[in-house]
Structure 1
Amino acid sequence: MREQERALTTTHIVNWIKRHQADWLCFYVARKSPSAGYQSLLSLLQRFCHRHGFSRQRPGKNKQSQGALVEVCDKFAVEFHREYRGFGPEAIYNVYETGFHYDMPPKYIWSARGGDAKISTGEKHSLGMTAIFTVRANGDKLQILFVIRGAPGGRIETSELPLFPRGHVYAVQQKALMGNTMWNYYLRTLLANNLSDHSVVLLDNLASHVNDDTYRIVHDELGSQLCPIPPNATSICQPLDVGVMAPFKRYLRDAWLTEEMIDGEDGDDFDTPTAGQKRLAMVKRAIVAWDHVSPVDIRRSFEKALAVPTNTE
C-alpha cells in the first residue's frame, strides 16, 4: 500500500487479519479479557510495525506522485548540468527560507489518572522569526539572515540587536515574514557581499522569490544566473531541503535540550521569559544548530538533488 502512496493504518492491518487470519484472531482475542482485546492487539501491531521498519507519521499529500517527482528531478538535473556545466561548486548557491518558533503549543499533556485535561489558558506559538540560509555546493555556509518581527528603528533594533551574536545579519520589520522588500535587501546585501563573480543561484519557485525584480537584481546588479527549481518539487530538487534542513532541525532540538533554562521576570520555573529573552535564545539556538551542519552534509545534499546523470546526451 505504501509503495502506491496509499494510507496504511492499524485498521487496515486488522482488516487484513480478519480477512486472512480469522482463526488466529479469534484465538488471540479469546485469551484476553473482554475489555482488553482491542488494546492488546493494537499494541501488538504497533510493536510489529516498529520491528519491521515502519514509523508512525502524519499523512501528507504530494501534489505529484513520488514517481513523477523523481522524473521531474532527473530532468531538472540533466538541464542544470547542461546549462551550467561551466560553473564550479564554489559558484553554485542554494537559498532556503524557513520560519521557526521559540516553543510549540502542546498537542498532548500529562494529566493525573482519572483527572481531566483542562488548562487555564490556551497556548499559541509565543514568538516566531524567519531565517534565510545560504550555502555553496562546495560545502561553504554563509551567514544567516534573521528576520525579526518588530518596529523598524524601534527598541528591538536599537537595544537588542547590538547584543546578538556577531557574524550574522539581523533585520527588523513589521512582520517576521520574507516580503519583497526584505527579499531584495537580502539579495543586495548578504548575498551580494558573498557572491563569487558569475555564479548560479538556485531558488525555490515561490512568487516572492522568483519574479522580475529578482531576475533583474541577480542578472543585472550581481552579474549572475538565477535557476528556479521546478514548482512543487523542492522536497526532491532543492539541496537544502533534501539533505540539510532535517539534520539542522535535529540539531535545533538538541540545542534546546542543552541550553540553560530561562527564568521569567518573577524567577518562577514555569514563568514565561520575556520576548527579548526568547528572541536572543532563538537566535543562539539557530546559530549553534547551523554550526553543527557539516560541509559534508551540504556537499552530499547537492550531489543528491542534482545527481550527475550517467548520460547527458
Structure 2
Amino acid sequence: MSSVKRKCFTIEEKSAILHRLEAGESNATLAKEFGVSHSTISTIKKNKDKIEPLFNANVLKCKRIRTSTHEQVDKALLQWFKLQRDRGIPINGPLLQEKANFFARQLDIQNFTCSMSWINRFKVRHNIVGGKIAGECLSVHQSDVTDWLEKVWPTLRAQFTDDEIFNADETGLFYKLTPDKTLKFRGEKCKGGKLSKERITVMVAANMSGTVKKKLLVIGKSQRPRCFKNVRHLPVDYESNRRAWMTADIFTKWVRAWDRELTKKNKKILLLVDNCPAHPHIADLKSITLVFLPPNTTSVLQPMDQGIIRALKTHFRKNLVLKMIQLLDGCRSTSFEYPKITVLDGILMIQDAWTQLKQITIFNCYKHAGFVQSNVECTITSSNADDFNEEDDVPLSVWARAINGHQLPITNEDFEQYAFVDDAVATCEEPTDENIVENIIATDSNTIDSDGDDGESEEIHPTVSVSEALKAAETLSVFVQTNLDDDLMKTMMSRIHNAVRSSYYRTKVCQKQTQITDFLRN
C-alpha cells in the first residue's frame, strides 16, 4: 500500500502550486513538499485553465471544482449578486431564489425551479458566507474630498513611500479617429453600434513619484484581430469583450496578476482606484492594498484625471498626425486618403505615447489632486498648466499648421475638439438585469471572442524579415549618430542596432545548421 496520503487542495493552494511550477520548480519537489503523488501535481497543472478563472473570481477556499447543472443561471445570478453587494444592498436566500427563477425565465430555460438546496450549492461554489462574499468590505462613502484628504489619506500615506503609491484608471480612446471626423464623434458614449468599432479602452497606472509606469492594459472588441496575425508579442496586455469595455472579471484578473508579480519581487503597493461597477472588491490580495476613492470625486481627486490621461492622448494624437504628415509628404497625388488605422496601429501608438510621458507630469498630477501638498484646499482648485512638462502639453495648433501646409481644411478649433473628443466615452456599463442576460447569451454563443471586428476588414501586418530589420536599424543608426545631439538617444539606438544584429547572426547560424552535412564538415 502506498504511503503517500491523499490530500485535497483549495483553489488558492492550487493556484500557488501552479505559479511555483511556472517559476521553474519541479513536479517532484512540490510532490515531496506537500506529501502527495506526482500525479496529483500533474492533475493540478492539467486543470490550470479551470483553476485560474476561479481564483480570479475570488473562489479561494473550495477544494473541488463543482459546476452547476444550469451554468447560465449560475453566471447571471453571480453577476447580479456582486453588483448588489458592491452597492451595499443586503441579500438573503429567498431573494436569491427569486432572482435565479427570474434569470431562468429570461434565458428561456425550461423546467427550472430554484430550491434552497440549489442556492446552498451556489453559495458553496462561489465562497459566499452569511449573505456576503468572504473577506469583502464596503467602500468608503465619504463624498467630501477635503475630509477624505484630511482624515483618511494621511493614515494610508504613512504606510507607503511615493514609489509604492499607484493610481489606475481607464479611458476610452477612438484609436482610428482622424481630425476630419472629430465633429462626428463629439460626445459619443459608445454604447454599441457602428462607432463602437472605432474605440478601445486603455487602463493606465503609474506611481506617485512617476518612476514606474505600469504596462498598459488595452481592451478591444475582438479576441484575435486580423492585424495580430503575424505578431508574436504585444507591448501591452490585451483583453477583449464585445463592447471593448472594462469589466469586473478583467479588472480582477489584471489586479491578481499584478499582485502575483509583486509577491515574487517581495514588494507591496497601495493602489487607488475609483468606485465604479467594473472595480469590484478583491479578497486575499497579498501585495496590493486596494483602496477605493470616495464616490463621484474622479474629476478632482483621481491623479490620472488631473492631466496624465490628457497628456497621454495628446501624445497619441500627435503620433497619428505625424503619420498623416509623413504620408502627405510622400503623396504625389492631388487627392489624399487618411491612413487606415488598425487595432495594432492604435496599440503601438498608445504605447509609444505612454513611453514619451514624462515623470514630472505624473508627479505634478498627483500634486494637483492633493496627494502631495499639505494645503489641501489650494491643491484641489489649482490648475496651473506650468506644472506640466512642456513636451507633454504640445499645442495641437502646431500640428494644425503642419497639415494646413498641405491645404487640408482643418482649423485650430477642429484640433481643440480633436484633443478632447473622447473624454466622455464610457469605459464600463451599468450591469442591469437586461445587460446581464444579454452578456451571458453572447458569451455562450462565442460572439464576444469572435475573430475580426464584426466583418470589418483589417490589414494583416506583413512579417518583417530579420534582414530587413537589420537594414532599417543600420539606416536609423546612421541618422541618429550623425544628426541628433542626444547621448542617451545614441546609446539606446546602439543597443537596438546590436540586438537586431545579434538576432540576424543567430538566424544565420540556425539556417546553416539545418543540414546534417554542415555538422559532418566540422
- Deviation readout 1:111-140 (Å, 9 max, x if unpaired): xxxxxxxxxxxx846521111111011211
Matching residue's letter, 1:132: M
Separation in structure 1 between the aligned mates of residue 162 and residue 278 of structure 2, nearest angstrom: 26
Q: CA RMSD in A?
A: 3.2
Larger radius of gyration between Structure 1 and Structure 2: 2
State the Cα distance separating 1:165 from its structure 2 match. Answer: 6.3
The 1:134/1:280 distance shift into structure 2, 3 A limit, reads same
**1:147 and 2:219 matched:** yes
1:281 alignment partner, one of 339, 345, 349? 345
Render the CA deviation track for 1:8-41: whole Å, top value 9, x for unaligned: xxxxxxxxxxxxxxxxxxxxxxxxxxxxxxxxxx
Asked if the contact 2:262/2:287 (under 8 Å) is kept, the reply is: no
CA offset at residue 200 of structure 1? 1.0
Return the match for 1:309 from 355, 374, 377: 374
In the alignment, structure 2 segments of 5+ residues that lack a partner are 1-142, 185-193, 377-522
Work out the CA distance in 2 between the residues paired with 1:142 and 1:162.
Answer: 25
Match of 2:298 in 1: 234
Which residue of the other structure, out of 156, 171, 174, is the alignment partner of 1:98?
A: 171
Whether 2:201 is the aligned partner of 1:133: answer: no
Cα distance change, pair 271–85 in 1 and its aligned pair in 2 (3 A): closer
Deviation readout 1:229-272 (Å, 9 max, x if unpaired): 11111111011111312222221221111125789xxx984377
Counterpart AA for 1:222: K
3-state SS of 1:259 partner: helix
Find the residue that maps to 1:221 and give its secondary structure.
coil
SS of 1:177 mapped into structure 2 = coil
Instruction: Give the CA deviation at 1:301.
Output: 1.3
Structure 1 residue aligned with 2:30: none
2:172 maps to a residue whose letter is G
Which whole-Å CA distance do the structure 2 matches of 1:241 and 1:258 have between them? 25
Gaps of 5+ in 1: 1-70, 109-122
Match in the other structure for 1:74: 146
Q: 1:239 to 1:161 in 2, by over 3 A?
A: farther
Q: Which has the higher helix share?
A: 2
Verify the 8 A CA contact 2:169 2:273 in the aligned structure 1: yes
Q: Secondary structure at the match of 1:93?
A: strand
C-alpha separation in 2, matches of 1:250 and 1:304: 19
1:107 matched to 2:177? The reply is no
Q: Post-superposition shift, 1:186? A: 1.1
Deviations 1:200-219 (A, max 9, x none): 1100111221x3xx331xxx
Separation in 1 of the partners of 2:158 and 2:302?
18
2:220 alignment partner, SS class: strand
Say whether the 8 Å CA contact 2:225–2:343 is kept in structure 1. no
Q: How far apart, in 2, do the equivalents of 1:164 and 1:282 lie?
A: 17
Shift of 1:192: 4.2
2-structure distance, mates of 1:192, 1:163: 26
Q: Report the equivalent of 1:179.
A: 247
Give runs of aligned pairs for residues 285-300 of structure 1, distance below 5 A.
285-300=349-364
Q: For 2:245 and 2:289, how far apart are their aligned partners in 1?
A: 25
Please give the secondary structure, in 1, of the residue aligned with 2:144.
helix
C-alpha displacement of 1:190:
4.2
| Residues 1:88 and 1:230: Cα distance change in structure 2 (over 3 Å) | same
Aligned to 1:257: 321
**Does residue 1:156 correspond to 2:225, yes or no?**
yes
| 8 Å CA contact retained: 1:96, 1:203 | yes
- When residues 161 and 292 of structure 1 are mapped into structure 2, their CA distance, relative to the original with a 3 A threshold, is farther
Measured against aligned partners, the alpha-carbon deviations of 1:54-92 in whole angstroms (never above 9, x if no partner) come to: xxxxxxxxxxxxxxxxx9333222221233312101111
* Partner SS for 1:246: helix
CA contact (8 A) 2:273 2:291 kept: yes
2:277 is paired with a residue whose SS is: coil
Kindly provide the amino acid, as one letter, of the partner of residue 207 in structure 2. Answer: R
Q: Distance in 2 between matches of 1:286 and 1:164?
A: 18
